[in-house]
Amino acid sequence: MVYYIDLRKKRKKKKEIKKNYRIRFLDTNKFDDIFNVPLILKGKSYIVIETEKGEELVKILGEISYYGDEESKYKFLRKANKKDFYTFKQHELEANKALRLCKNLAEKFNLKMNLLKAYIPLNRSKILFYYVSESRVDFRELVRELAKRLKLRIEMRQVGVRDGVQILGAVGICGNTCCCNNFMDKFETVNIEMIEEQNLPPIPSKFTGICGRLMCCLSFEKENYEMKGELPPVNSTIEIDGKIFNVKNQDFIREIVELVDEEGNKYTIPFNEIKEKDIKIIKVEKNCDNCSCNNNINNFLEQNYEVEELKEE
């Protein structure tokens, strides 16, 4: 009996690559994640994915860590090639012409809508028109006319004013590109109380964004002001170790409370030492809740704004 021994080296199976990436859509400038991409990609690369809009060219921003079981909302098709870029550019030129046509027709039909952008996916599954409107728009006649002229499936998408700024881009009063267009994943809740909490001046131009709504950056420092309720109120009289002080300011940048004693000497207490001190509040100055002066942020806003318009959409 003869025995044969196989001395050939067994080929190792290549491990299947599955990477997760942060992506940015080129029509709305919105961000999202795509999971289980079988490629190693660098930032600023482009891939083609399948979404509910059709085949889309999207930008890779970088790799992300993900350990959950959630499936990707998008299907990876391929790494973008020259043909994809050429098609995208051609569709962009065609979409701009369609947008001008749509604006003319909207004006002809007397429709109150602010058209922002037109977008055609790579596979020409449809053409999308993004618009902003304060009320519901009956665009059935407009869609019929567009379909007749463009020979494409028409989809009208209404977006909020904040989404409009994110799509088109703008420069804020800080001199930088608006946060929504630059890096924001989603719109956080922004309300009037944040202005009062952060001791901001009641000046409309200081906290109103390009979109006409409260600035998104008001929410960025929300966590820093959460301990405000644990601090002695400004203008209150307090007692520490038998000595009387008046609270002059709460400085959330330096994280200190500024105090003045009866002789006019100034002191500061760091926020992290407040809980260690045995502080007794003797008197709190009357607030402006029931008066009509401009120190009351709510009264001021009601006098200068339609407050409902400043609330989150």
299 and 181 within one domain? yes
Domain membership flag for residue 249 = yes
Can you give the pTM of this predicted structure?
0.73
- Predicted confidence at residue 111, as pLDDT, reads 94
How many residues would you count in the chain? 313
Q: Domain limits at 39?
A: 19-80
Number of domains within the chain: 4
DSSP string of 165-204, one letter each residue: HHHH--B-TTSSB-HHHHT-SSPPP--THHHHHTT--S-H
Domain membership flag for residue 10 = no
89 and 68 within one domain? no
121 and 61 within one domain? no
91 and 75 within one domain? no
102 CB-contact burial (10 Å; exposed 0-12 / middle 13-18 / buried 19+): buried
Domain membership flag for residue 279 = yes
Domain membership flag for residue 169 = no
* Mean pLDDT, all residues of the chain: 83
Domain membership flag for residue 166 = no
Domain membership flag for residue 110 = yes
Segment 81-86 mean pLDDT: 96
313 and 181 within one domain? yes
Residue-wise pLDDT for 151-194, tens only, equals 999 999 999 999 999 999 888 888 888 988 888 888 888 888 88
CATH of the domain at 120: 3.30.300
